[in-house]
Amino acid sequence: MSLKPFSRARAVHLMLVYTGGCNGCDIEIVNCVLSPKFDIEQYKVFLTWNPREADVLVVTGPVTKLNEKPLKEIYESIPNPKAVIAAGSCALMGGVYKNIHGDIPSEEIMGPVENIIPVDAKVPGCAVRPEDILSGVVATLPKLLEAD
């Protein structure tokens, strides 16, 4: 194993962008990093709030209209290689907000996240479980490791 994938697997910086869900996922994810019970740092994953430092972008929420451009801007300012995790059912398919009224198009919701930025891993759940976020990060690792 060369130094490049070795180092990438041992320090993953994770950034969270909330795009207007119900707050449940955000708290579960931030909590999963912060609380000593899950303590994501022991798996060499660090929480950061600076896109220039991040490797993995976790997006929660169905991407409301006002959040579409900020999300794109944050995604673009992350240097390569980068990966995106869509966490929670809102981020996966717009959630209850986009789908409860059937085929009527929603004016508020621009999501799901896939419509705006490319997604590498999808973590289901309403709200996501902290354990699942960890497995989501693990699922994006091959992409990070194999990139130049």
Partner 1 sequence: MTEENKPVKQEVIETEVAMGTVHPAALEPYRVRLFVEDEIVMDAEITIGVNHRGIERIMEGLPVEKANALTEKVCGICSNAHIWNSVLTAEKGLGIEVPERSNYIRIIMGELERLHSHFLFLGHGNEVLGHETFSMRVFYLRETVMELLRMIGGNRVQYGASIIGGVRPRCEIDEMRTQKILEGMDTLEKGILDFADRFVLDPMVKSRTEGIGVITQKQAKELEVTGPTLRATGIAQDLRVTMKEYEDFDFDIITMDDGDVRSNLLMRALEIPESIKIIRQAVKNLPKGPILDRSWEMFDCDSIKSYIEVPRGTLYHSYAIEEGRVRGSIIRTPSMSNIGAMQTACIGDHVTDAQLCIVQCDPCFTCTDRAIKVIKI
Partner 2 sequence: MSTITIVYSVLGVICTLILALIVGTFLPGFERKYIQARIQQRIGPPTTSPGIIAPIKFFFKENISPNSPVPSLYKSLPIVCFIVVLLILLALTPQMYFFGALASIIAIVGFLKVEKVAYVLMGSLSKSVMSLGLSFPDTVKGAAHPNTEKVYLEDISSNRAFRMIAFGSFPFYLALFIPVTITGSIFLGDIVAYQQANGPFIFTLAGFIGAIVFFIGYMILLNEYPFNILKSKADVIEGCYMEYASKYRSFVYLTKGFLMFTLGALFSVLFIGIPPNIFSWGIIVNILVAFIFSILMGVMSAFSPVFTYRQFYPVVISSSLLGVLALAIGLL
Count of residues that bind partner 2 according to CB under 8 A: 28
86 binds, among partner 1, partner 2, none (CB under 5 to 8 A by kind): none
H or E element that contains 133: helix 130-146
Non-local (6+) Cβ contacts of 113 within 8 A are: 19, 59, 63, 71, 84, 86, 91, 92, 119
When asked if residue 127 is in the footprint of partner 1 (CB under 8 A), the reply is yes
25 binds, among partner 2, partner 1, none (CB under 5 to 8 A by kind): partner 1
What CA–CA distance (Å, rounded) separates 74 from 113?
Answer: 13
146 binds, among partner 2, partner 1, none (CB under 5 to 8 A by kind): none
Closest by Cα among 43, 8, 25 to 86: 25
When asked if residue 79 is in the footprint of partner 2 (CB under 8 A), the reply is yes
When asked if residue 83 is in the footprint of partner 1 (CB under 8 A), the reply is no
Do 32 and 85 form a contact (C-beta atoms < 8 A)?
no
Contact residues toward partner 2 (CB under 8 A) are: 3-4, 7-8, 10-11, 13, 36, 39, 41-42, 44, 46, 49-53, 55, 66, 69-70, 73-74, 77, 79-81
